[in-house]
Structure 1
């Protein structure tokens, strides 16, 4: 009986076909759809201790976001907790998946998942390596709440480069950017979350409306959950990013 308190862990357990062991998850664990049938224990950082106890788990698997005091409470109640910390990279994702495989006695399934991911990464690298690199601006936040993107030290910046693009925000660290620099650089394309009506919002926001990419309809949507979670869909996120940046390399038409 396992409780997962991180979306990437939940996705990994499902991808290994071990969801029958899962008795609890967090509110943020929303993939695959079948996860909605599993009881929620609340937030990622502060899940409900009483709810966890009620579900009688043999093991709780958490990520580094897990609060120390929750960990201590569970350990005081003799509930076994494994906190898996992987660096934000493909290697980090492989490491976490491998550890989940060990914890669930599913090393072969973990190995297969990792190999499938590595094949997709190689496919992307080989498909884009000889191609011209367009400039890409990845939109995380925009407008009145401030302009946020993926600076050069972020993992998403690394994914843009792996996918055959040039990250426009390679002149900053972290997530904060400014519209003046963006207008000056005038990127070839913008990529944003497919959630929250981001695309429509960007195309109607002052400053962004002046960008050539926006005027030419080169604003593309991606499922950012695939990029934000250190799980088995990370390679799919890279592949989707590459198909947006270089549709011609994958026999796709630009949409």
Structure 2
């Protein structure tokens, strides 16, 4: 290249860099998630709160719901109330610029939050184990924690794979998940995340013949499952719930083994779901493991 042509090329190339690079940088900044120090998040769902802390982004949270009780640190954050009836006034006083919800929060409440100029992320993950990974990735994208999310998901997938391999060598007992009982019987019915968890953990979920988390006493008694997983009732210890279950008709007539389980751990789609699957496997196959 002639000297004159080379100088001309350098001049044009320098102009290109001066004009184009700032635009590319600006566009890149727009596509990046909000800088962490600028984000002020209110989480309205326990699994969202767990995920944010697990992704090492807990410092971005300025508020939570009453049910966001894990990790322990989360309980030090101000609460905006229950999932079903949160306080808009309390939420606005925390001055968030992002509100994240995964389920049960009234649509009109979220609309009011949007009208106040606050960004709302509603996570409607599918009711299966894959949906857990979707939830983690969505939250990671908004908090700038994509790399952490992929490492977490890889680790979870390894645990899930190991559990599923173990189930191939195990007998498959019939299982009933008792979420509530008495005047209203609630269980992990067909099409729920918890039902898939029972299946992945090597159990046969008897409640797969019903829908919408509701089960009948007649069906429960006719199946008489081998393993009954009992969730402690709100405000009760596992022992108190177990005593009530085993002394109340018709449940007292069931012949299956009853085991108390941690509903917060097992029924929340989030970073502890692989650990929950392992725990579920141990609960279902306890006899075989002894």
Check whether TM > 0.5. Answer: yes
Counterparts in 2 of 1:61 and 1:178: CA distance versus 1, 3 Å = closer
Which of 189, 193, 200 does residue 243 from structure 2 map onto? 200
Q: 5 Å matches for 1:59-98?
A: 59-98=98-137
Which protein is bigger by CA-based radius of gyration? 2
Q: Is the 8 A contact 1:136 1:187 kept in 2?
A: yes
Contact 2:129 2:197 in 1 (8 A): no
Structure 1 unaligned residues grouped into runs of 5+: none
TM-score by length of 2: 0.79
Per the alignment, residue 209 of structure 1 pairs with: 252
SS of the residue corresponding to residue 275 of structure 2 reads helix
Q: TM-score w.r.t. structure 1 length?
A: 0.89
Helix, strand or coil at the partner of 2:51 = helix
Change (3 A) 1:186 1:21: same
Q: Which residue of 2 aligns with 1:119?
A: 158
How far off is 1:248 after superposition? Answer: 6.5
CA contact (8 A) 2:43 2:63 kept: yes
Moved more, 27-36 or 72-81: 72-81
Number of aligned positions between the proteins: 246
How big is the shift at 1:22? 0.9
- Give unpaired runs (5+ residues) of structure 2: 1-39
User: For residue 128 of structure 1, what is the aligned residue in structure 2?
Assistant: 167
Q: Does the aligned pair in 2 maintain the 1:11–1:32 contact within 8 Å?
A: yes
Q: Distance in 1 between matches of 2:264 and 2:78?
A: 21
The one of 178, 184, 188 aligned to 2:216 = 178
Task: Let me know the Cα RMSD of the aligned residues.
Answer: 1.8
- Separation (CA, whole Å) in 2 of partners of 1:70 and 1:184: 43
Write out the 4+ residue segments of structure 1 that deviate beyond 6 Å after TM superposition.
none
Question: 2:132 touches 2:269 (CA, 8 Å); kept in 1?
Answer: yes
Q: Select between 9-18 and 51-60 the one with higher mean Cα deviation.
A: 51-60
Question: Whole-Å Cα distance in 2 between the matches of residues 65 and 183 of structure 1?
Answer: 31
Deviations 1:59-90 (Å, cap 9, x if unpaired)? 11122433222222222222122112211211
